[in-house]
Amino acid sequence: MILETLSFFSMIIKLMAQPTRRFYLKWSKLIAPKVRQLAFQLEDKSNIAFTAGQFVTLNIEGPTKTLHRSYSVANAPHSNTLEIACAFVEGGVASTLLFNMQEGESLLANGPFGLFVLKEEHPARYVFIATGTGVTPYRSMLNDLQARLTTSHPELEIILILGVRNRTELLFAEEFNAFAKMHPNFKFYACYSQEPLLADQQPFERLGRVQSIFPDLNLDPNQDIIYLCGNPHMIDENFALLTNMGFDKKNIRREKYVFSH
Ligand SMILES: Cc1cc2nc3c(=O)[nH]c(=O)nc-3n(C[C@H](O)[C@H](O)[C@H](O)COP(=O)(O)OP(=O)(O)OC[C@H]3O[C@@H](n4cnc5c(N)ncnc54)[C@H](O)[C@@H]3O)c2cc1C
Ligand SMILES: NC(=O)c1ccc[n+]([C@@H]2O[C@H](COP(=O)([O-])OP(=O)(O)OC[C@H]3O[C@@H](n4cnc5c(N)ncnc54)[C@H](OP(=O)(O)O)[C@@H]3O)[C@@H](O)[C@H]2O)c1
């Protein structure tokens, strides 16, 4: 108990002690009509330490005060590059800035922060659920998941469900499908909430919100660990659904992309 309390406080101190550093934009590209992927580096191009699933907080200089906006890291750790994916928000201060940022320009950021990470554990199955850019923490985790699937935990099953409005909004689907091809225990599903019938619908594509796929998954409160990331309404609705099914709260991990007020 004492050890647990000590490690909790040392974790809090570590989180608070994250430095503010200047990040330079190396490249950016549009990966969906309203989502831009951006890759940053430090000036000396040194490695940027983070754990897959964490986020960074950007400092945006406003006319009267500095605003803070958080973004999940989208790439795997052990790299000198830090990628994020930003969804454009009409009139949004940070997303407008990020959409207009040019190569070589820089901004200040703190981090990494967050506990939405993989733990040392051996569940029968992980079910990773996201809407929109909420899928990026799972992209960041792919290398770690690959290591588990190929060495430490080959019987692990993984389901990744990404909810977007339509096919044009899909993010990193080619990478997730390629990963699924390499690892039969990994399944990827895209759920389209506003797509009319698709003549060429692929096996990984479903119509409806993310939770419409639940009846096909035989969700098991005793075996599955669920991760939820992205739209806060999606997270609250699914958290309620899952706890009603008998899931223990500790087996449902959440990262809500709430707006700053
Ligand atoms: C831990 C964490 C991780 C996050 N990770 C990501 C990420 O990886 N990618 C990402 O794109 N975002 C992420 N977000 C959200 C992000 O931090 C910003 O909130 C988002 O980019 C909007 O910031 P902005 O400055 O552009 O908009 P703001 O200037 O904050 O908002 C502009 C105005 O529009 C309103 N508004 C904005 N969007 C909507 C909406 N969808 N519906 C209704 N009203 C709206 C706001 O209330 C405000 O009045 C994350 C948030 C958190 C807390
Ligand atoms: N209140 C907030 O803080 C808030 C709210 C929304 C978005 N955001 C953030 O705003 C940015 C832009 O977001 P975005 O518009 O690109 O995409 P998004 O809001 O992250 O995702 C859109 C998808 O989420 C689905 N969705 C919404 N509510 C849901 C629910 N209760 N259950 C299941 N699915 C649900 C939508 O389905 P439908 O088409 O059926 O609605 C749509 O498919 C992101 O950073 C996002 O996280 C914040």
Per-residue pLDDT, 16: 54
Pocket test for ligand 2, best of 90, 95, 131 (most atoms within 8 A of CB): 131
Q: Count of alpha carbons within 13 Å of 193, Cβ hemisphere only?
A: 13
Q: What is the third-level CATH fold of 2-113? A: Elongation Factor Tu (Ef-tu); domain 3 (2.40.30)
Distance 188 CA to ligand 2 centre (A): 19
Mean pLDDT, the chain, integer: 94
The answer, yes or no, to whether any atom of ligand 1 lies below 6 A from the CB of 176, is no
Per-residue pLDDT, 261: 64
CATH of region 125-256: 3.40.50.80
Nearest CA to ligand 2 atom 7: 231
- Amino acid 56 reads V
Residues 6+ apart with CB under 8 A from 6: none
Per-residue pLDDT, 1: 45
Task: State the CB neighbour count (10 A cutoff) for residue 154.
Answer: 10
- Amino acid 98 reads L
Per-residue pLDDT, 260: 79
Q: Which residues of the chain have pLDDT under 50?
A: 1-4, 6, 8, 13
Per-residue pLDDT, 204: 97
Q: What are the sequence ranges of the domains in the chain?
A: 2-113, 125-256
